[in-house]
Structure 1
Amino acid sequence: MTAYVITARAAPALGDIRAAGQGDWFDVYPDVVERRDFSKIWEAVGVAFVRGADVCLLREER
């Protein structure tokens, strides 16, 4: 069981994201879309989701 945090400034390696599965979870912050590799990260998070990881898309407070 591992918790991952993905932001504009920090993210785990793509292989680590793809290898995640049941019992792991991701907190994905809204600023992640600012990353140049956002599409690759999003694809990897999708793989982890299909493998059973929980994904929490966080919202900005307004």
Structure 2
Amino acid sequence: MVQRLDSRFAAYRDAVGLDSALEFHSLRRSYITHLIEDGPDPLFVQQQVGHDHASTTAIH
């Protein structure tokens, strides 16, 4: 399933001329970053994205 999403995303990205460095996972990283910037409880963000450790979430 993930491979199919990655392939579909890459096809759309290429069709509209976006940078090839942009990956489907980039959307997840952006979501996490925006959550953190909006200032909710860090535990909420960690739970939203399914990280076991706060240090993983802190990378974003």
Larger radius of gyration: 2
TM-score of Structure 1 vs Structure 2, range by shorter chain: under 0.3
TM-score scaled by structure 1?
0.27
Q: Kindly indicate which of the two structures has a greater share of residues assigned to helix.
A: 2
Q: Kindly indicate which of the two structures has a greater share of residues assigned to strand.
A: 1
TM-score scaled by structure 2?
0.27
